[in-house]
Amino acid sequence: MITKAKLKHKDRINLNTFIVLCIALMSLTTSCDSAKEQNKIPVYAWVGGPGESTDTEIKENFEDLKAKGIDVLMYNGGQNPEVYKRVGKIAKSVGLGFHTWIPTMVQGRKDELKPEWYAVNRKGESAYDKPAYVPHYTFLCPSKKGTQEFLSNMYRKVAAVEEVDAIHLDYIRFPDVILARGLWDKYGLVMDKEYPAYDYCYCDTCTTSFKEKSGIDILSVEDPTQVTEWKQFRYDLITNIVSLLTEVVHSEGKQINGAVFPGPNSIAKKIVRQEWDKWTLDAYFPMNYNDFYLEDTKWIGEVTKEAVTSLDNKKPVISGLFICPNPKNKTKENDPENHGLLPEELEDAIRESMENGAAGICLFTPNRMTKEHWEAFEKAIYKTY
Ligand SMILES: [Zn+2]
């Protein structure tokens, strides 16, 4: 009896000690986790869907991304608000931020959009039936009332969805009047100046409105590429679209941000007419895709610094990073779309971004990340820069 009682007592002590130890360990790991989380840099990711995926499949994918360290999705799911409601609910249930990634000036042909609302190049060809470079380059003209109304209504409906935290604009620009250097070979072009086929918009609305404003008849100018006012006029057309959409989205109580070309001065203004340091967005996601410009990871730091400085450090800059999907084949690949950061470059790219003032990074795309990329990524994101 005594022995048994003693044993019982001893067991109880052991059990109590065990419980105390467990609690101590649990709080230790929790505090380790929260310390780890506190040092974590914000990570965004461009992703698309949902295709034919079921809710369970979407949830599993989102849980996986969350576990890997992604905080916010820039989700491309078309223009139907119902899709964003469904997918946004799942994103929220796993603790992810949810921004809708929807192209702006590039719009496919559809009944709602009149052919005359599309942009016209210096040769007089419309992007509606003769798009530059690739078939999907069906850019709208920013001057047209129809364009403005279509975009306002489309983004307003999506911003009104409860699960949507922010609208993410993309293709908020003119077609590339100059292609990024890394793309010249792919398209067999030497873009040493602004050529007529890629120079937009010379529609009646744009040219008339410019004449009223400046007194210059751009159609009668021998070399329009030398007219500074004409360049500024077109930067302003895009800036005005951004202002309009900012008002629409803010009136729904949501944030608005956008994917932009690096710069703005070094690249964005020159090649796609984005004077984005004048814009009204809540955050900027420069696509610091070094391989497209035949540059290295050090350049990512330089353009991040330019972005942060241009915005006077007043708005967050999230550095967009382009991932190489098949690192072993990179040197054999001719198409820059298959280039991008190798696993051994990723830590450097993240460090360059963060040390130069970025408020986070954005991956293009998680699907392109290999096992080796994720390993390098984990080392780089739980750090104070
Ligand atoms: Zn126009």
By C-alpha distance, which of 121, 322, 138, 327 is closest to 234?
121
Q: What is the pLDDT of residues 177-186, one digit of tens each?
A: 999 999 999 9
Compute, in angstroms, the gap from residue 163 CA to the centroid of ligand 1: 35
Compute, in angstroms, the gap from residue 278 CA to the centroid of ligand 1: 21
Compute, in angstroms, the gap from residue 248 CA to the centroid of ligand 1: 22
Compute, in angstroms, the gap from residue 342 CA to the centroid of ligand 1: 41
Determine which helix (DSSP H) or strand (DSSP E) holds 316, and give its type and residue range: none
Compute, in angstroms, the gap from residue 141 CA to the centroid of ligand 1: 4
DSSP assignment string, 245-264:
HHHHHHHTT-EEEEEE-S-S
Compute, in angstroms, the gap from residue 207 CA to the centroid of ligand 1: 7
Strands (E), 160-263: 166-170, 255-260
Is residue 241 within 8 Å of residue 142, measured between CB atoms?
yes
Is residue 223 within 8 Å of residue 199, measured between CB atoms?
no
Q: How far is CA 219 from CA 27, 121, 125, 227, 298, in A?
A: 72, 12, 14, 12, 42
How much is the pTM?
0.92
25 confidence band (pLDDT: 50, 70, 90): low
- Which pLDDT belongs to residue 14? 57
For the ranges 28-32, 68-72, 271-275, 333-337, the lowest mean pLDDT is seen at: 28-32
Q: Is the pLDDT of residue 122 over 60?
A: yes
Compute, in angstroms, the gap from residue 203 CA to the centroid of ligand 1: 4
For residue 190, the tally of other CB atoms under 10 A from its CB is 9
For residue 313, the tally of other CB atoms under 10 A from its CB is 12
115/99 Cα distance (integer angstroms): 30
User: Which chain residues have CB less than 5 Å from ligand 1, an ion?
Assistant: 141, 143, 201, 203, 206
Is residue 338 within 8 Å of residue 324, measured between CB atoms?
yes
Q: What is the pLDDT of residues 26-60, one digit of tens each?
A: 555 556 667 777 899 999 999 999 999 999 999 99
182/225 Cα distance (integer angstroms): 23
3-state secondary structure of 326: coil
- Scanning 39-170, the segments in alpha helix (DSSP H) are 55-68, 81-93, 145-159
Is residue 297 within 8 Å of residue 352, measured between CB atoms?
yes
Q: What is the pLDDT of residues 261-306, one digit of tens each?
A: 999 999 999 999 999 999 999 999 999 999 999 999 999 999 999 9
